[in-house]
Amino acid sequence: GAVVSQHPSWVICKSGTSVKIECRSLDFQATTMFWYRQFPKQSLMLMATSNEGSKATYEQGVEKDKFLINHASLTLSTLTVTSAHPEDSSFYICSASVSGKNIQYFGAGTRLSVL
Amino acid sequence: AQSVTQLDSQVPVFEEAPVELRCNYSSSVSVYLFWYVQYPNQGLQLLLKYLSGSTLVKGINGFEAEFNKSQTSFHLRKPSVHISDTAEYFCAVTKGIQGAQKLVFGQGTRLTINP
């Protein structure tokens, strides 16, 4: 139980294009999903908290217009990196909490490479 | 606010030896504590969690951890490691209340098992 699917696992794009990453909770409903960014050999940095049906809450220093988050249903949240640049290249990981619970289950991550 | 310190960035151990990965936290409120494991190019897998009750918690893959409130620690242990335990391990803390809360991660400990 508590499986989180993240897609794609790896994406390469040209500078200036937009990339969408999906995060799905497969066997549970997730009122809240989280998006993290991880640089090589570093820990996870929380980018934003996504609540179903409402606007995401972004952490300080994270550009909301660049990292668009949509949480349209209890099983799906998406992160769109708009006008991607090489410095946006990173490992992006989502997590989801079972509604009402304070335990996060993580997706397998998406490696984004911007050329 | 909560914070987590993982005292060792790297821990090399021989196969079948015991291992302890150290984690200390600080918080002005009660907490929930977690250990996650990350294999290369993958997301995080929940190893074990402390929410309440017994301070000794057992997780998957033979790992266990002990919550010590007076020392504000949550060290991870395994009596005999295997090559397959080679991975990055993250300690994390969140507010000890129900409902999804932000996770604060330590910097991670790279566990390397040598034959």
Beta pairing class for A10-13 and A110-114: parallel
Residue in A91, A100, A104 closest to B98 by CB = A100
Tell me the pLDDT tens digit for each residue of A21-69. 999 999 999 989 999 999 888 889 999 999 888 889 999 999 999 999 9
Answer whether residue A102 shows pLDDT above 90.
no
What's residue B41's pLDDT? 79
Q: Which residue of B has its CA nearest to A107?
A: B43
In this prediction, residue B98 carries a pLDDT of 80
In whole numbers, what is the pLDDT of chain A averaged over residues?
A: 93
In this prediction, residue B28 carries a pLDDT of: 85
Nearest CB among B44, B96, B100 relative to A106 is that of B44
**Chain-wide mean pLDDT for chain B?**
93
